[in-house]
Amino acid sequence: MARKHKPRRWERSGPSGFVAVDKPQGWTSHDVVDAARRWFGTRQVGHLGTLDPLATGVLPLALRSATKLVPFLEGGEKGYVGTIRLGETTDTLDADGEVLCRHEGPLPEEAAVRDALGHFLGEIDQVPPMYSAVKQDGVPLHKLARQGREVERPPKRVRIDRLELRSFSAPDVDVEVACSAGTYVRVIASDLGVRLGCGGHLKNLCRTRSGPFTLEDAVTDKQLAAAAEMGEVDRFVIPPVEVLGFPVIQLDESDVTTVRHGGEIAALGPPQRPGSCIAALEPGGRLLAVMEVRPGRRLHPVRVLPPLAPQG
């Protein structure tokens, strides 16, 4: 008996690239991905770094074949502004959780807060929170936490480049953070409370930067939904070359054929350091591949994008 195949969902043709969404509070990162699939008419959508439901701000998305370029953009610096509430600890380390303890004594003065923040600068170890997407034996920690379980988590090395006090009005500490990818700002909030002896949690958070994407680049869900209704949503797609930041070369048709089949070509343009990456464009200007410079001025394709899907 012949197997029945489910009909493939229709995919709307459109540009590959990136869009920075200003994530609204209360949405999960997956909620944004699901909405983007509707807005742009494609199942090929991925995000570059999770944001907690509490947080707002920059959530970059990759669309269509640009999803293959995500590894080249992971690990970029993150920027945040947020508020830490002193005197209360919660089970999730943020305002979405249940209060576990309230500090009864006086709260620290601004000088003590400022001094404590300085101890978090540089490379530090963070223990991932139980309410997180980190997996233990293949199971996300947040699933274990909702079962009332707590397991030992190995600390993770992160880097805090800037942790500045923007304002202080007890019990709230407004901060600005620049840090490496993988840093949990709510862990900073909790650890700050421990250091000050009064407890603390993250009251609110906005991501202002994720790698090359800034809050000024970001588009709201309402803007995207309205543009999708009018058939104009593709204008928010940022071409991959503008995001990657690699030197650019233009290929001729013979080189396009070679690269598309995985072959190396002679290096074009000014000499580049071996191991560095080059963005190779087709004659029409579309990104064809990311090439790596090899010894002997050879360019090797490390990621080749598929050809454009036929219009339909």
Cα distances (Å, whole numbers) of residue 300 to 35, 157, 263: 36, 33, 7
Catalytic one of 22, 52, 191, 217: 52
Burial class (CB in 10 A: 0-12, 13-18, 19+), 116: buried
Phi, psi of 217 (to 5 degrees): -80, -20
Cα distances (Å, whole numbers) of residue 132 to 127, 186, 190, 208: 11, 11, 14, 21
DSSP 126-155: EPPPSSSS-EETTEEHHHHHHTT-------
Q: How many CB atoms lie within 10 A of CB 194?
A: 12
Give the pairing type, strands 17-23 and 219-220. parallel
52 is annotated as an active-site residue: yes
Residue numbers annotated as active site: 52
